[in-house]
């Protein structure tokens, strides 16, 4: 029987297929092969088109914001801000989650309102606070750029493309943004020197005392489920979270459980960016969250000692991966 510390499960939809071999799709230690949707098969050319679109600010209404503005590789594919800024400096209401390992995710956004990565990619472009554009205007802009017309024809077989082709390309690129080969992965693989003594003790706290794996488990350290942790519930007008999508009162204040991979690099934390450090996150869980009518039943005081808190933080740092930084550099030249 495998140790409970060595979880390695992932939910893979049957409509997903493995792509042809490509060195760029080499999966880091600790992850499973990436499946791509049957209706959005992987090709190198599509990935490269998606990479260009992801970093191109011309997709926004005023040419100032790209997907990468809020999900930048130098910031572990987030922006390290409590809430993100869109065109004209407008502020959103939630923190930008990392793009890492979205290939293993289910519904997208903190509230799960997008069923696929393709649907998620369409959202910010038409959001008046984020990129402030319309899908029609995005397509008109791209069709006005000969270099993009040629690339879309190469990838999709026609210069007559629409928003579906744009989002399929972006999602293809995003599915190659992976984080693995962390000290924790290497420790699981048998290298008992990969983690420090403090991190090994913290792993025990994570699984045995704090039971973080009730929500953060599997290869991507998330169940992809939604929970009310009490975050922001003491504010005058709390964010309804998942309930705004489902209209189900049981989802009030519930938000999607994020991956813990690269967690040390993706501060601040929680859906509203209200916790600045991992130490603050551990303290928040230790006190059992903020009481409210829908607080998850698992949110109870943990009664961790000071040393256990320090060790748990050190273990969370052991979830940062290696190797992706050099592979995912943004383009230096865009189509003209």
**Helix, strand, or coil here: 51?**
helix
Q: Sign of torsion, CA 301 260 16 256?
A: positive
Query: Which residue, among 131, 142, 136, has the nearest Cα to 71 in the 3D structure?
Result: 131
How many other CB atoms are found less than 10 A from the CB of residue 22? Answer: 12
Q: Which of 48, 118, 130, 308 is catalytic?
A: 130
Task: Note the maximum CA span of the chain.
Answer: 62
| Beta-bridge partner residues of 91 | 85
Q: 10 Å Cβ neighbour count for 248?
A: 10
**Is 159 annotated in the active site?**
no
Q: Which two tokens stand for residue 208?
A: 């045995």
| CA-atom Rg of the chain in angstroms | 20
How far apart (Å, rounded) are the C-alpha atoms in residues 109 and 244?
A: 12
> Which amino acids are annotated catalytic?
130
């Amino acid at each position: 029987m495998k140790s409970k510390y060595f979880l390695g499960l992932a939910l893979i939809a049957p409509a997903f297929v493995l792509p042809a071999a490509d060195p760029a799709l080499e999966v880091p230690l600790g992850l499973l092969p990436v499946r791509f949707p049957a209706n959005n098969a992987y090709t190198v050319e599509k990935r490269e088109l998606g990479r260009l679109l992801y970093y191109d600010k011309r997709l926004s209404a005023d040419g100032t914001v790209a997907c990468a503005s809020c999900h930048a590789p130098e910031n572990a594919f987030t922006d390290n801000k409590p809430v993100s800024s869109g065109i004209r400096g407008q502020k959103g209401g939630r923190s930008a989650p990392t793009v890492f390992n979205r290939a293993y995710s289910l519904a997208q956004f903190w509230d799960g309102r997008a069923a696929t990565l393709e649907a998620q990619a369409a959202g910010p472009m038409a959001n008046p606070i984020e990129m402030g554009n319309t899908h029609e205007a995005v397509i008109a802009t791209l069709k006005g750029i000969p270099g993009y017309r040629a690339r879309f024809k190469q990838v999709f077989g026609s210069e007559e493309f629409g928003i579906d082709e744009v989002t399929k390309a972006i999602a293809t690129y995003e599915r190659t943004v992976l984080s693995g080969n962390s000290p924790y992965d290497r420790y699981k693989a048998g290298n008992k020197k990969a983690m420090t003594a403090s991190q090994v003790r913290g792993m025990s706290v994570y699984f045995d005392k704090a039971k973080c794996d009730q929500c953060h488990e599997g290869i991507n350290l998330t169940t992809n489920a939604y929970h009310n942790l009490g975050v922001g519930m003491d504010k005058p007008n709390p964010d309804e979270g998942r309930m705004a999508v489902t209209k189900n009162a049981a989802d009030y204040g519930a938000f999607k459980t994020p991956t813990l991979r690269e967690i040390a690099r993706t501060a601040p934390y929680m859906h509203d960016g209200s916790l600045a450090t991992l130490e603050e996150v551990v303290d928040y869980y230790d006190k059992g969250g903020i009481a409210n009518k829908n607080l998850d039943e698992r949110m109870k005081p943990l009664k961790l000692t000071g040393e256990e808190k320090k060790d748990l933080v050190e273990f969370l740092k052991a979830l940062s991966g290696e190797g992706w930084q050099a592979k995912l550099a943004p383009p230096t030249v865009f189509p003209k």
